[in-house]
Structure 1
Amino acid sequence: MNAYEETVLQNLSEEIPADFSKATPKEVYMAVSKAVMKQIFSTWQTKSERKKACYFSAEFLLGRVIHSNLLNMGLLEETENLLRQHKIDPKVFEKVEDDALGNGGLGRLAACFLDSGATLGISLNGYGIRYRYGLFRQTFSYGEQKEEADDWLAFGDPWSVRRENERVRVDFGEESVWAVPYDMPVIGYGGKTINTLRLWQSEPLHPFDFELFNEQKYEEAVAEKNAAERISNVLYPNDDTDEGKSLRLKQQYFFSSASLQSILREFKKSYANDFKKLPEQYAIQLNDTHPVVSIPELLRLLIAGENLSFSEAFSIVQQVFSYTNHTIMAEALEKWDVSLFCTVLPQVYPYVVMLQNRLRHEIGSNSQRNPDDYSLIAGGKVHMAKMAVYATHSVNGVAKIHTEILKKKTLKEWYDLYPERFHNVTNGVTQRRWLALCNRELSKFITNRIGNSWITNLSELEKLVPYADDPDSLKQLMQIKKEKKNQLADYVYRKDNFGLNTENIFDVQVKRLHEYKRQLLNAFSILDLYYGLKEGRIKDFYPTTFIFGGKAAPGYDRAKGIIKYINEIANLINYDDAVNRKMQVVFVSNYDVSYAEKLIPAADFSEQISTAGTEASGTSNMKFMMNGAVTLGTYDGANIEIVEQAGEENNYIFGARVEELEALGENYHPRIFYEREPRIRRVMDSLVNGTVTDGGSGVFQELYRSILDGASWHRADYYYLLLDFLPYCETRLRANQDYLRDRTKFTRKCLLNIAHAGVFSSDRTVSQYAKEIWYL
């Protein structure tokens, strides 16, 4: 027995002196986690002397960290064997629910990048907020999404170390708080490099006013405490009021200012006030616009705090910062009302004005430019994306098509001005979690054929190509997929009390609920299949289980209406004995990383059906690909590059492309499709004719109107559901029939997708950032 195993058992014995098999999941979790922390501590504390990259992100969706840490330390199988020896089920950690701190692709990407940085030996540290309740826990009541607080700390937090002596003060207009750092180790594969994720918790300067309490002013006595803790309570608080917007801006400034203060403090230990060396020692990546307030804040810290001139400070800021744009959606290109900004951050606004003045002077010297096109402050708002482009040295999109849209449309005037700043860095995902960990059966299949070097060099998967013509390999791959379906079925039954038919095709769309991701188009198509099967229009159809998962933002009523509609369609189909042997529909609850680890390896079809030009990249498409699902999707985001790598013949692409939609312009009239095509009219009318019910909320009627007539901020059918409906239905049916007619040929497509997935490793992505943007 080695030192690690002895430490695990010693930790258990302190809680359960006699029979370890009676240990609770929490006790086992804490015993193992603390043993790993002891093993890594000395390596973690070793400070790197190399240039450091700092990843500023509002969210880090880590998933269950114990499994990935054990895998990367090479302790996973050893730990499972040790637990079995003491009659403890190794699946005990599945009861640990700590998938907080993030929402979707943005946060999960950040987590993948940290894993890749440590694995590659790059000094890449993350900075964000230690949310007390994360996003929210999703449940359903009569098909409607309900939100509950997500108590991710219920099992404790053995992976974080509170650094009380490194707290910093953050000041707002009418409030000051302590930002207290909690550091989490980021363990690279092999355990040689251990970086840090620093998450900040907001705490009051004065947590309790004893005098007010004695005066029986009980709420006032803890008012400062409550106000401070509000800042780090919940990820993405509802911001449909000024108070909500104020809280969001406070959150963004809170972690940005705290992180910058922390970085400057560390820098000055070695370099005193020689701030010209700051860009030589630190590169800071701004993950979308959430941390862009860091730009004027660093100016303030250098000018007001360190007495640099504006010119000196601006040069340093521009060299240090780079900016990733993750979407062209308006809500992500943040704009803050000047009045709100000045109220929340009065000490920062003057530096925004300085940036604006410098930009106007720069543009003013160019007679071919209109200064009004480049205003950082315009229409009474501070434009954060514009600020990010102007005051950084690099702007990157996250897929080829997305970067081209930024250059030609969304940020065209800026690209015309600073073409050298624009880069493309296609996103990636870590194969350690999304293949080696979540699909150990497939990992063994791969390693048996090509060795295990793919774990740190995913391009090695290309060596699988010859096996696409090996009948035994294809047969084994089918067996693995069936095993993963069985595992998922067990998980879904335990989590959602729904029985999956594992002989079916698994057709999966799991992602954040948003209109542009078009879960509603998927639901319409499923309803059309239902009618086609019921009436005999569709003859040949392989039984299919359609699986949805994803959360809608609490204030996004239309997205919540789509969830309700999907659940109503599920009830219609699942309880109809005429078709329910051919079709199943389920919307799993509280979709998170742990659920994704079960769903993705079991999928046959990966639904990636966003309107062309709207999904910047997508990363779930990459996870599905490397787990042997074929993409059923539009020519959008990274789907384009997936098809380039694996071949369109091995995937199913449909729908209008970006240039076709641009050509349509104002000439698109969805009512023409509605009036002309009975199948479209029938699924649309299901929203309002009583086929399904919204419980009297009126949300289905609003969905119906938004598509046919337009609503709130957008024109009719803004995301072209009716335009793409029939091509989608036809492509989906073709994919189903390919599976039905020749399962071996279909499995060959799956294997070729796995074999060509190498370029989609986040190791490649982070290497590209390190070389081209961070200059490490």
Structure 2
Amino acid sequence: MTLTIEQFKEEFSQTFEGLYAFDLAQSSPIQQYTALGNFLKVYSSDNWNNTNQEYLDKQVKQVYYFSMEFLPGRMLKSNLLNLGILDTVRSGLKEMGLDFEEIVQAEVDPALGNGGLGRLASCFMDSIASLGIPGNGNGIRYRYGLFQQKFVDGYQVELPENWLRNGNVWEVRKENKAVLIRFGGQVSLVKGAAGNLKPVYTQTQNILAVPYDTGMIGYQNEVVNNLRLWSAEIPPEEEIHYHTIAEREQVNQITEVLYPDDSNYEGQVLRLRQEYFFTSAGIQSIVRYYKQSGLAWQHFPDKIAVHINDTHPALCIPELMRILLDEENLSWEQAWEITKKTMSYTNHTILQEAMEKWPVQMVQDLLPRIYQIIEEINHRHIEKKLLSYTPELTYRTAIIADGYVKMANLAIIGSHSINGVAQLHTEILMQDTLKDFYQMYPAKFNNKTNGITQRRWLHLANEGLTKLIDEKIGTAWKTSPSELKLFKAFVNDPATLDRLAEIKLANKKTLAAYIKQEFHMKLDPTALFDVQIKRLHAYKRQLLNALHILDRYLQIKDDPEAVIQPRVFIFGAKAAPSYVYAKQIIKLINAIADLVNHDPVVGDKLKVVFVENYGVSLAELIIPAAEVSEQISLAGKEASGTSNMKLMLNGALTVATLDGANVEIRDFVGEENMFLFGLNDQEVYAFYENGSYHSREIYENNPRLHRILDTLIDGTIPNIETEGRVIFDSLVYYNDEYFVLKDFDSYVAAQEKVDQLYQDVGSWNQKSLLNIASSGPFSADFTIKRYAEEIWKTSFFTPGAYQKIHLTEPI
């Protein structure tokens, strides 16, 4: 349907008056946003209802994407774009005297994720709907999300992120779809009438899981899929059992905060409660939906695909087994075959220490029936594999071992597909991290390199660049991302390169204005903007970047008259509340910023900005302004990365190790159009094997690095006595776990090449254009196409989507 400006103005005014019963001219931006959200929800409701009904009527295979995190960002502009009415609404609001951007800013950016994992899940939801794949998200409706990050004296302080304070206009509460979740108590197995064992539960804590549904609107194809987030409540019939505030608070905690502090036992129990809560609720909901079809259980994997995004939802496997065994009376063999064919698992980490595991006693106490099922899965796995493999290899793959339940092992054994998220990551999984499982199940393993949605990270975040690309190559690239390669034809066109530079400068000025307003810091928009935005973790090596900044600072202090390329270093990152070392690195970077930014000798030659509370909306501001993309994790540690793809798409040049998806970025854009440095993964693993790395020798024999490291402990940087000493010791005396010192010289040499190239404006802009034109293969649409065809075995259902999205695989 086509919406005219006049129709919009009339219907929006009616919606507002119906909500607030007073004149629009007296309204606040939040009220305007709420009314506009309600208008859009009604505008898209027919599509949402029709999509659901068609899926049900035609019994199409549906995908259910289970994720602990969904990081959607603000949804208003995205929904307007996907509905095809962004320009109409913007023009209509202008005619009504309303400020569209002010309304957009009134929307809260929900902190329902920590970083790449949650943002990937949301990009996937967008692509699933835009491709017309019958797909659903399943997660938790956190009341407070992750946390609001504040800096106090340079230290990270975590405050509650009350994103629901004004409600959530996009969600619909479905209390009629609520399900019951059991925790604790005792479970005994008694013989049923048919001779099978049936569980009898006593003294359980029963909690109601209430779903809140949000429409996932496909890109101009009339498809609206569903994201279902669950909220924990006290069942009405159980109110009598919750006498105290503490008892009620125990229920509220389940869906209160994303990633509660798990540095103690109580925090671990809460995390496990969260994981079972949303997996059980989701699986129960799926089974209820499937039973409407009237099909036999043997057809369940033909109609349902459940995807486990990282290990957090691995309890989907025993939960589906529980329902099939206990409630539907299937045999173990039948239930297990159905479960394995239904489940698929994405691994997101190379680090063994990041693989989830829970104490056996904890799982037994909290989830007694689920533990019984896991124990039986483990027993049968070992019994079967001992026939073909050595006892040593078999027991290394056990789910229950050393007093723990290992969730990655459960996810692998109970799934038909295990995928990594970049070519290098998948190779490391198969050859090292999950080598034993790869030996057992080689056919299960496959790669699906992560992707991003250009709709948010270019169409919405960088409208100036989008318009330029439209003018030069037409608009087909918007539904066929591989068509971006046509932009390469303009690499030698001075007019296009000048426009590209103008757009980048305008984006830098916009970011500089924001930083001046929020942080009272004046930036020179003609300086080089160097960006590192990602979760704060030692292996991502924000610390390497910080040492390089100190090196530049010392150079300026040594020779204030020397000509040096002015740079603005921009960081955005949150550290997990219990990750002390990461928080110490944040303090160090903020202390360096205080030192550098207030030194009159330095002036505009060097500035450091650490933005508070980094999230999707800030990324949409920073990424279009970035000129250098810092992707400097130790080779072999980053699974994929997606900020690398977003920054590349917006024309930033990448400084990178050959880690994660950086390898594939190099393959597509060419080594000459990025700045590679450092050890490769084979060299890193060689050091691990031969134990020949000695960081103290580097400190003692490299005068330049020696001087930089001494600034951490000699008072050069004020107010970091504790943090500086801890970081210094970790690098010098505790052998520098992530090879920061080993890669330093190579990193600095790469940065010197950046400075040199930036002086050649034409060459820099050519490489920027080639990065943009080479980014098409990293579209999430391609990634999801591969998931759908190779793992989920589902179809691209909606005819409208076929007409809109033309996915020719990139070459």
When normalised by structure 1's length, the TM-score is 0.96
Is the CA contact (8 Å cut-off) linking 1:504 and 1:542 kept in structure 2? yes
Q: Which residue in 1 is equivalent to 2:72?
A: 62
Taking a change above 3 Å as real, the CA distance of residues 675 and 171 of structure 1, as seen in their structure-2 partners, is same
Q: Which residue in 2 is equivalent to 1:297?
A: 319
**1:103 to partner: Cα distance:** 1.1
Q: Which residue in 2 is equivalent to 1:773?
A: 791
Within 2, Cα distance between the matches of 1:14 and 1:372?
A: 65
Q: Which residue in 2 is equivalent to 1:701?
A: 725
1:326-725 maps to which residues of 2 (within 5 A)?
326-368=348-390, 370=392, 371-536=394-559, 539-665=562-688, 666-694=691-719, 698-710=722-734, 716-725=735-744
Say yes or no: does 1:138 pair with 2:153: no
Q: Which residue in 2 is equivalent to 1:9?
A: 13
Taking a change above 3 Å as real, the CA distance of residues 207 and 619 of structure 1, as seen in their structure-2 partners, is farther
* Counterpart secondary structure, 2:629: strand
Q: Which amino acid aligns with 1:51?
A: K
Taking a change above 3 Å as real, the CA distance of residues 211 and 135 of structure 1, as seen in their structure-2 partners, is closer
Say yes or no: does 1:248 pair with 2:271: yes
Is the CA contact (8 Å cut-off) linking 1:601 and 1:624 kept in structure 2? yes
**1:21 to partner: Cα distance:** 4.1
**1:708 to partner: Cα distance:** 2.1
Within 2, Cα distance between the matches of 1:207 and 1:494?
A: 52
Within 1, Cα distance between the matches of 2:676 and 2:17?
A: 57
Q: Residue by residue, what CA displacement relative to the aligned partner does 1:87-122 show, whole Å, maximum 9, x if unpaired?
A: 211111213223321110000000000000100000
1:751-762 maps to which residues of 2 (within 5 A)?
751-762=769-780
Within 1, Cα distance between the matches of 2:733 and 2:364?
A: 38
Q: Which amino acid aligns with 1:193?
A: V
Q: Which amino acid aligns with 1:749?
A: K
Q: Which residue in 2 is equivalent to 1:148?
A: 159
Within 1, Cα distance between the matches of 2:163 and 2:603?
A: 37
Within 1, Cα distance between the matches of 2:385 and 2:474?
A: 57
Is the CA contact (8 Å cut-off) linking 2:419 and 2:448 kept in structure 1? yes
Within 2, Cα distance between the matches of 1:544 and 1:64?
A: 30
**1:18 to partner: Cα distance:** 6.5
Taking a change above 3 Å as real, the CA distance of residues 387 and 346 of structure 1, as seen in their structure-2 partners, is same
* Counterpart secondary structure, 1:200: strand
Is the CA contact (8 Å cut-off) linking 2:356 and 2:407 kept in structure 1? yes
Q: Which amino acid aligns with 1:179?
A: A
**1:703 to partner: Cα distance:** 1.9
Within 1, Cα distance between the matches of 2:15 and 2:335?
A: 51
* Counterpart secondary structure, 2:207: strand
**1:641 to partner: Cα distance:** 0.6
**1:476 to partner: Cα distance:** 0.3
**1:368 to partner: Cα distance:** 4.5
Q: Which amino acid aligns with 1:690?
A: G
Within 1, Cα distance between the matches of 2:585 and 2:272?
A: 29
Is the CA contact (8 Å cut-off) linking 1:60 and 1:110 kept in structure 2? yes
Percent identity (aligned):
44
1:200-211 maps to which residues of 2 (within 5 A)?
200-206=230-236
Say which of 336, 341, 344 aligns to 1:319.
Answer: 341
Say yes or no: does 1:176 pair with 2:206: yes
Within 2, Cα distance between the matches of 1:147 and 1:657?
A: 36
**1:610 to partner: Cα distance:** 0.3
Q: Which amino acid aligns with 2:165?
A: A
Within 2, Cα distance between the matches of 1:637 and 1:540?
A: 35
* Counterpart secondary structure, 1:239: coil
Within 2, Cα distance between the matches of 1:292 and 1:709?
A: 39
Is the CA contact (8 Å cut-off) linking 2:595 and 2:718 kept in structure 1? no
Is the CA contact (8 Å cut-off) linking 1:118 and 1:194 kept in structure 2? yes
**1:14 to partner: Cα distance:** 3.9
When normalised by structure 2's length, the TM-score is 0.92
Q: Which amino acid aligns with 2:373?
A: Y
Task: Report the count of equivalent residues.
Answer: 761
Q: Residue by residue, what CA displacement relative to the aligned partner does 1:562-621 show, whole Å, maximum 9, x if unpaired?
A: 000000000111111111220110100000000000000000000000000000000000
**1:211 to partner: Cα distance:** 10
Say which of 34, 39, 57 aligns to 1:35.
Answer: 39
Within 1, Cα distance between the matches of 2:685 and 2:492?
A: 42
Is the CA contact (8 Å cut-off) linking 2:112 and 2:258 kept in structure 1? yes
Is the CA contact (8 Å cut-off) linking 2:206 and 2:238 kept in structure 1? no
* Counterpart secondary structure, 2:754: helix
Is the CA contact (8 Å cut-off) linking 1:541 and 1:737 kept in structure 2? no
Structure 1 stretch displaced more, 338-347 or 163-172: 338-347
**1:255 to partner: Cα distance:** 0.3
* Counterpart secondary structure, 1:348: helix
Which 5+ residue runs of structure 2 have no aligned equivalent?
186-204, 795-811
Q: Which amino acid aligns with 1:50?
A: V
Q: Which residue in 1 is equivalent to 2:101?
A: 91
Within 1, Cα distance between the matches of 2:294 and 2:744?
A: 61
Say which of 22, 29, 33 aligns to 1:25.
Answer: 29
**1:764 to partner: Cα distance:** 0.2
Q: Which amino acid aligns with 1:735?
A: V
Q: Which amino acid aligns with 1:157?
A: N
Q: Which amino acid aligns with 1:182?
A: Y
Which 5+ residue runs of structure 1 have no aligned equivalent?
213-219, 711-715
Within 1, Cα distance between the matches of 2:653 and 2:389?
A: 52
* Counterpart secondary structure, 2:529: strand
Say which of 34, 52, 61 aligns to 2:62.
Answer: 52
Within 1, Cα distance between the matches of 2:322 and 2:23?
A: 59
Q: Which amino acid aligns with 1:706?
A: S
**1:452 to partner: Cα distance:** 1.1
Taking a change above 3 Å as real, the CA distance of residues 474 and 356 of structure 1, as seen in their structure-2 partners, is same
Taking a change above 3 Å as real, the CA distance of residues 208 and 369 of structure 1, as seen in their structure-2 partners, is closer
Say yes or no: does 1:102 pair with 2:113: yes
Is the CA contact (8 Å cut-off) linking 2:280 and 2:316 kept in structure 1? yes
Within 1, Cα distance between the matches of 2:541 and 2:380?
A: 42
Structure 1 stretch displaced more, 71-80 or 680-689: 680-689
Within 2, Cα distance between the matches of 1:229 and 1:65?
A: 26
**1:437 to partner: Cα distance:** 0.5
Within 1, Cα distance between the matches of 2:418 and 2:763?
A: 42
Say yes or no: does 1:233 pair with 2:256: yes
Say which of 114, 118, 125 aligns to 2:125.
Answer: 114
**1:210 to partner: Cα distance:** 7.7
Taking a change above 3 Å as real, the CA distance of residues 703 and 164 of structure 1, as seen in their structure-2 partners, is same
Within 1, Cα distance between the matches of 2:82 and 2:165?
A: 25
Structure 1 stretch displaced more, 589-598 or 368-377: 368-377
Is the CA contact (8 Å cut-off) linking 1:209 and 1:221 kept in structure 2? no
Q: Residue by residue, what CA displacement relative to the aligned partner does 1:119-138 show, whole Å, maximum 9, x if unpaired?
A: 00001110000000000001
Is the CA contact (8 Å cut-off) linking 1:209 and 1:222 kept in structure 2? no
Is the CA contact (8 Å cut-off) linking 1:15 and 1:27 kept in structure 2? no
**1:208 to partner: Cα distance:** 9.1
**1:699 to partner: Cα distance:** 3.0
Q: Residue by residue, what CA displacement relative to the aligned partner does 1:612-658 show, whole Å, maximum 9, x if unpaired?
A: 00000000000000100010111101111111100110100100001
Q: Residue by residue, what CA displacement relative to the aligned partner does 1:665-699 show, whole Å, maximum 9, x if unpaired?
A: 21100001000011211222222221224466x23
Q: Which residue in 1 is equivalent to 2:797?
A: none
